[in-house]
Amino acid sequence: MSEAPHLTFDVDKPGVIKGHLVVPKGADCEVLSLPVFSFNKGEGPRLLITGGCHGNELEGPLVARRLIEWLPEAQTCGRVIIVPVLNPPAVQAFSRNTPTDGLNLNRVFPGRADGSVTERIADAVSRLLLPMADTVFDLHSFGPTWDFPPSTTTHPIADPDLMAKTIRMAEAFKLPMTLVWDHPDTPGMFDISAHNQGKVFVCAELGGGTIGAEALAIYEAGVRNALISLGLVEGKAEHPVFRQRKSSHTLQTRRPADELKSPARGIFEPRCSMLDEVKRGDIIGILHPMDSSSANSTEIWSPSTSIVCAIRSGGYVEVDEWLALLARPLDR
Ligand SMILES: [Zn+2]
């Protein structure tokens, strides 16, 4: 019998503590020690910030490292626990899923103590970190093959009070987009586990494409705004400037009409950009088949008046892969 998952430090101890979350070994992997940073200034909000759930989204771990540098000076009360990398094997491989078992960490919550490595990580997080927080920020991004604005997202939540609280928290980041995303594949997601425990959970989707210094500054400002709104630090929240504008949209998607999928294999040529407004019948992009000299290119039209929240910007697409995600202003 291997040891149980545990933290190497006492979370109730005041001050700044650097320790580890120990995920027990299994048949597929040795013990994992995930670096954990605890900032405890007594009474107040209890926040958990995680990054590196998906290994090819490195914005979250980078923003988490910046917060670790900044928080000791800035924090005035409460407790913040930061785990910059939830899935070290996936981050080391720059892979969305864990290479060892092929699983997506954000689909196996609450995990299994006797499962494969991805399930054991989820189990350790669910049992040891989640219960210590009232609010969770999980830092993701859309990855290198998408054009996507710095955003916060949530899924529709059945409890109207928790939904309203979560949207308010997501909007407090003041990022260019807050999205209530009617996602087709939510079982096993980290946020569903947290919602089931009544916690406010905001998934930050920190842009798409490759990582740049300007974008990282926006993401960091967004998380700082959220910490100010929670009362963990003092200061005045400010809208980050994105594409020469200080604006925020709160949008919602509806399934399945807002998910534009590829009708064939090929290369997608985007004809609009993230946050563009499109009318019904406008061309979103063109899909060019490359397998046959006789196959025609296909125009992909918008089915409705919408705002483009995500558009494919790279990679060879297969049939039924997503090309774009549309949304409209949130119906409150
Ligand atoms: Zn992700």
Asked if residues 183 and 155 have their Cβ atoms less than 8 Å apart, the reply is yes
> What pLDDT is recorded for position 2?
62
Ligand 1 centroid distance, CA of 294 (Å): 37
Q: Would you give the end-to-end CA distance of the chain in angstroms?
A: 51
Alpha carbon distance 124, 112 (integer Å): 9
Instruction: Kindly give the residue spans of alpha helices, DSSP state H, lying in the chain.
Output: 59-74, 88-92, 117-124, 160-171, 190-196, 213-230
Ligand 1 centroid distance, CA of 292 (Å): 34
Alpha carbon distance 167, 216 (integer Å): 23
Residue type, 274: M
- Kindly give the interhelix angle for 213-230 and 59-74, rounded to the nearest 10 degrees: 50
Q: State phi, psi for 275 to the nearest 5 degrees.
A: 70, 5
Ligand 1 centroid distance, CA of 57 (Å): 6
Neighbouring CB atoms inside 10 A of 276's CB total: 16
Ligand 1 centroid distance, CA of 14 (Å): 32
> What pLDDT is recorded for position 23?
98
Ligand 1 centroid distance, CA of 291 (Å): 31
Buried/exposed 38-53: b ≥16 CB within 10 Å, e otherwise: bbbbeebbbbbbbbbb
Four-point Cα dihedral 9, 11, 14, 15, nearest 10:
60
DSSP 8-state code for residue 97: S
Q: What is the pLDDT of residues 135-171, one digit of tens each?
A: 999 999 998 899 999 999 999 999 999 999 999 999 9
Ligand 1 centroid distance, CA of 56 (Å): 8
Residues with CB under 5 A from ligand 1 (ion): 54, 57, 140
Ligand 1 centroid distance, CA of 141 (Å): 6
Alpha carbon distance 49, 217 (integer Å): 17
Alpha carbon distance 18, 70 (integer Å): 15
Ordered per-residue pLDDT tens for the chain, 332 residues: 468 999 999 999 999 999 999 999 999 999 999 999 999 999 999 999 999 999 999 999 999 999 999 999 999 999 999 999 999 999 999 999 999 999 999 999 999 999 999 999 999 999 999 999 999 999 999 988 999 999 999 999 999 999 999 999 999 999 999 999 998 788 999 999 999 999 999 999 999 988 989 899 999 999 999 999 999 999 999 999 998 888 899 999 998 889 999 999 999 999 999 999 999 999 999 999 998 888 899 999 999 999 999 999 988 999 999 999 999 999 98
Asked if residues 96 and 86 have their Cβ atoms less than 8 Å apart, the reply is no
> What pLDDT is recorded for position 185?
80
With residue 202 as reference, give the H or E element that holds it: strand 200-206
Asked if residues 250 and 167 have their Cβ atoms less than 8 Å apart, the reply is yes
Q: Angle CA(252)–CA(45)–CA(173) in degrees, nearest 5?
A: 35
- 3-state class (DSSP) for residue 194: helix
Ligand 1 centroid distance, CA of 281 (Å): 31
239 to 143, 176, 179, 327: CA distances (angstroms)? 23, 8, 17, 22
- 258 is written with which tokens? 């807002």
- 2 is written with which tokens? 């291997």
pTM value is 0.96
